[in-house]
Structure formats: structure tokens, C-alpha cells
Amino acid sequence: MTAYLTRRIVFALFVLCGAVTIVFLVLRLVPGDPAQLILGSDATAQEIATLRTQMGLDRSLFVQYGIYLGDVARFDFGDSYRYHRDAMTLVVDRLPATIQLAVAAMVIALILGIGLGVVAALRVNRLADRVVSVFALLSQSMPSFWIGIVLILVFARQLNLLASGGRGGLDRLILPAFTLALPVIAILIRLTRSGLLDVVHENYIQTARAKGLRERIVIFPHAIRNALIPIVTVAGIEFGKLLGGAVIVETVFAWPGAGRLLIDSISARDYNVVQAAILLIAGGFVLINLIVDVLYGYLDPRIRLGR
Amino acid sequence: MDRTEAPTRDAATDLATLPDAAPPGTDAAPGGKPLGRLRIICSLVVISLYVLAAIIGPILLKYDSVATDLGARLKPPGTRLADGSLALFGTDQVGQDVLAQMLQGARVSITVGLATLLLAGVIGVAAGLAAGYRGGWLDAVLMRLADVQLTFPSILLAILIASILGPSVVNIVIVLAISNWVTFARVTRSQVLAIKERDFVDAARTLGARTWHLVSRTILPSAIAPILVVATVELGHVVLAEASLSFLGLGTPASTPSWGVTIANGRDYLSNAWWISTIPGIFLAILVISFGVLGDALRDRFDPRLRSM
């Protein structure tokens, strides 16, 4: 287990370094001067020169990279010029809203995804299975920003049941969380269905049947337990992706999370906040992946021994 | 859970009598082949209609991105306008015909999708060929790079690059190609690894073929089918990603509105003009579903092993 753990941690650090480097390169190597980009087209040459010295842009790329790594290690991304506050603090302040949305979406996805997947597997090739499969196809193919808009139109504008934007009680959480959950629901449905159908042919299930156990007992604790192992991994990875998907859903529903801050900061050219937000979200993603890897190695010993 | 537990008895017999021939987890119905062909034909017909609409549509229904007609603002679908023309899908906030805008948008979205695939495909296939054929440190570097990119949410990378490059059709193609080359590289590499040990490749090598000839004439042609299958599946994803970025204001500029731009525009008029956002979204979803169905059907037919990719 220790060797496996070390390998996963090294890989996670490697990915994190990769993310940091990519952000650095994208911001420095693209055509155009970052100082010009930040100040806009109507800045004077004097202002640009001052900012360039401030940002260290007049030094060599390697020196800049070194300084940048030092800043990242200290979580120091400079101040937001819009709010005149530390960029990282701004993002961290918005993080609870994003996490709340992602957790709510994950809960919805797990309940509906596994539930509908079990229904589909138990009624394989029947009407219920077909309906569930079509639902999965639709929820994977429809753009989430559009689904969000349609849900607002139906539930908030027409039926006046739920609120359409902002953060607050449960009535404000349901629509964005469901929108964010939809693609994950589709993946979990497919995985649960095929997982159950795979497991049902295993010998131990036949044994359970041969012992004369009732079918309900055979399916529920016996079959579903092994079918759930891959679901743990995928659910974990998808939870990480929810952090990325949240950027779009937060924009549609005016949800005051880190994703919306990221988009607002991009249009305002507040690049310090952009860097902080992207690296924090990416860091969360890498951390979740690491936890999933460790959990999976614990649940299924074949994984950690196999490599 | 109540609902699922009630019908356990006959459901379980279903599971037990499931024919072993049909691999579990596929959506192939009994006698899957004709259905597979039906899926391919239906999705191809839908996609062809879109392509046709994108080519001919803007010629028949002129769209001018700067024109405004305030008298015809926010008219519901089916309204006959003052100049006698019929606004089948209604008009938007500046009096533009939504249908004309969508036909123009189909052009933009499909062009961006194809161009992205071409660029991502060229980069990915080249990387995959190099990694698979050469092996060694080059393979290690390229595949670790691919791993890193897969571990990083692709929408974040796209947002980062798009925000720096600014909105334009060329930039969105670059952004999406960068976030999509990995799939092509992985598929190509795994194909090359399998093919390069085959006898016909050895035969060509024995006859004195150079590396370039071996790669381009013997290995690549055998790897092309799975690459095309992956391209079909990816096309749907790319169109969707383009719409998402455009919706965020990071995709195509307002002068060449894709569907994402139109949907975003309609967001401010939801309460009095539902059609601006809703109708383009439905058509976008139908196109994406068609690519998904076509890709799945092609994969089941030609290479079921690709399922895990």
C-alpha cells in the first residue's frame, strides 16, 4: 500500500506542477504583452513600463518562472485590481458556494443515477430500460447552459415554483444542482446498469441463488455491492469535473461561486484572480482524484498490486 | 427504492436468462445488427440535413449581423413581419430573424467543429504515431503529458487560453484542438502498438522499407478506422464545447454568432421571448445526439473495444 500511495502522491504533485506551469506559460507566452493586456489599449507607454517592472516582465523567462513558483508556494497571486484585495482570499471566500453546489449535485446524481441504473438493469430491454437509456442519452447530449435556461423558464418563470438565481435556501439550490448533476446522472446510470448486468453472471450470485435465497436478497446486498466498486471511482472523478462544470452553471444561475468569479474576472481582465481561481479549482480536482485513487486501492486490492 | 424492489421476481429471471451472446451493457437490442444499421442511417440523415441547411440556408435567408429592425423586435414564432416575410422561429431583441441566425450559426458551429477535429486529429495522430512507433523517452513524455492534461478539467484549460487569445473563430478552433488532441493520441498509439508487430509490417521492413514508408503506408492505414470512429464521437463533444465557450462569451464573436451566442443573447429575454434561447438549444441538442448515436453505432459495429476510450 505504501508504494502505491507514494506513486499516486508523486503523480498528483506532478500534475499540479504541470497545471502551474501551463498557467504560467499561457499567461506569458501568448502573443501580446500581459501588462498591455491588464491595462487595456488606452494605457500610456509609461504606465505599461512601470507595470512591466512591477510584474518582473523585464527579466528572463527562467527568472520569472522561479519568482512565480515562489509566489505559488506562498499562495500569493497578488491583489485583484478590481477589489483591491488579495486574489487568493477572494477566491477562497467564494469557494463554499461552489462546494455546496457541487456536493448537492453529487447527492442528486448518486441517488438518481444509481436508482435509475438499477431500474434499467432489473428491467433490461423492457420499456423502463429503454426510457432510462433515452433519458441518459438526452442528459449527456444537451448543453448544460441550455438546460439551465429551460429549467428557469419552466420552474421559475412559468410555474413560479423555484427561484431562478442567487444563493439562499433550498429553493435556490435545486435548479442549479440538478442542472450540474445531469451529465453525471447519465454516466452513473450507464455504469450501474452495465455493472449489475456483469456481476449477475458471476459464480457467487449463482451460489446465492442455489442456496435458495430470495431474489431480492440476491440482487440487493449481494450483486449491488460488487457493482458499486467502479461507481466509487467514477463518482469521485466526476465530482472533480463538477468543479469545472460549475463555471457554466454558476453563470447561468447567477450563483456567487468561484466559477462565476472566474468568468467575471476574465471579462474584467483581472488576471491575478483568474490565475488564483484556475489553480485553486485545478488543485481541488487533483486532490479529489488522489483521494479516489487511494480509496480505490483500498477497496480493490487488485488495483494497487496490479501495476 | 420501493419501486425497484417490487418487481424483483420477474426482473431477476430477466437477468438470469439474459443471452450470453449479447455482451452485457451494450444497448444492442435482440438482433442488434439491423438496429445498428438503422441507427447509422437515421443519424446520418439528420446530420446531412444540418450540413445542407448550413450550406444552403444562409443563401436563401440572408443574415446580417449588424442589421436592426426595431419594429420587428421580439415577435413570437410564426409571426408575419411588416415586409411580408414569415418569422418561423420568431425574432430576437433587435428584430433579427432567429431562423436566419440559426442557419448562419449552423455554418459557424459545424465549421468550427470540423476544423477543430482536423487540427486535433493531425496533432493527436502525429503524437500517437510518434509515441507508439518510437517508444522510449518520447512515448513516456507524450503520454505523461496526455495524463496530465486528462487530469486537468479541459473546460478550465479552454477558458484560460480563450480568455487570453480573445474571441475569434480561429482562436476557438485552436483552444478546442488543444483540449482534444489527447483522445486521438491515445487511440492512435494503442493501434500502432498492436499493428507494428504484425507480419505485414515486418515483411515491408524486411523488403527495405524506410521508417516513413512503414508508418504512412503500412501502419497508419490499418489504424484509420478506429480513429474515424473516435472522431465522430468527439465531433459532438466539440460542437457542445464550442457552444459552451460561446455562451460564456469566450467563443465566437458577436459578428459570427454560433448557437451558443444566440442562446446567451436570449437569456435576458426569457420572460417575454422564450424562443430566442429555447429553439437553437433544441436544434443543437438534436445534432449532438445524432453524432453521439452515430459514433456509438459505428463503434459497436467496427470496434467494440474502443468503448473504454
What pLDDT band is residue A37 in, cutting at 50, 70 and 90? low
- Spatial neighbors of A218 by CB under 8 A, at least 6 apart, are A205, A208, A209, B12
Across the interface, do A149 and B266 touch by the CB < 8 Å criterion? yes
Question: B66 pLDDT exceeds 80?
Answer: no
Task: Give A-chain residues touching B3 at CB under 8 angstroms.
Answer: 119
Across the interface, do A278 and B4 touch by the CB < 8 Å criterion? no
- Cα dihedral B38, B40, B45, B47, rounded to 10, equals 150
Which segment of A77-81, A202-206, A300-304 scores lowest on mean pLDDT? A300-304
Nearest CB to B151: which of A133, A245, A286?
A: A286
Across the interface, do B14 and A122 touch by the CB < 8 Å criterion? yes
Find the residue in B nearest to A286 (Cα).
B151
pLDDT tens digit sequence for A143-191: 888 888 888 888 877 777 777 677 777 778 888 899 999 989 988 898 8
User: Contact A138/B290 with Cβ under 8 angstroms?
Assistant: no
pLDDT tens digit sequence for B154-181: 777 788 877 777 778 888 888 888 888 8
Question: A247 pLDDT exceeds 50?
Answer: yes
Question: Cα(A261)–Cα(A249) distance, rounded to whole angstroms?
Answer: 12
Across the interface, do A219 and B12 touch by the CB < 8 Å criterion? yes
Task: Please give the pLDDT value at position B12.
Answer: 37
- Chain B: give the shortest CA distance to residue A104, in Å: 20
User: Contact B40/B301 with Cβ under 8 angstroms?
Assistant: yes
Which segment of A122-131, A289-298, B36-45 scores lowest on mean pLDDT? A289-298
Question: Cα(B136)–Cα(B149) distance, rounded to whole angstroms?
Answer: 20
What pLDDT band is residue B57 in, cutting at 50, 70 and 90? confident
- Chain B: give the shortest CA distance to residue A248, in Å: 7
Question: Cα(A195)–Cα(A207) distance, rounded to whole angstroms?
Answer: 19
Task: Please give the pLDDT value at position B9.
Answer: 34
Residue A31's SS3 state is coil
pLDDT tens digit sequence for B108-154: 888 888 999 999 999 998 988 888 888 788 888 888 888 777 767 77
pLDDT tens digit sequence for A104-113: 999 999 999 9
pLDDT tens digit sequence for B277-302: 888 888 888 888 888 888 878 877 77
Across the interface, do B18 and A124 touch by the CB < 8 Å criterion? yes
Question: A200 pLDDT exceeds 80?
Answer: no
Find the residue in A nearest to B28 (Cα).
A125
Which segment of A20-29, A53-62, B12-21, B132-141 scores lowest on mean pLDDT? B12-21
pLDDT tens digit sequence for A254-288: 888 888 888 888 777 777 888 888 888 888 888 88
Task: Please give the pLDDT value at position A306.
Answer: 54
Task: Give A-chain residues touching B11 at CB under 8 angstroms.
Answer: 122-123, 215
Provide the chain B residues 229-258 that lie in CB contact (below 8 A) with chain A: 236, 240, 243-244, 247-250
The answer to whether residue B269 neighbours chain A at the CB level (below 8 Å) is: no
Across the interface, do A140 and B5 touch by the CB < 8 Å criterion? no
User: Contact B129/B192 with Cβ under 8 angstroms?
Assistant: yes
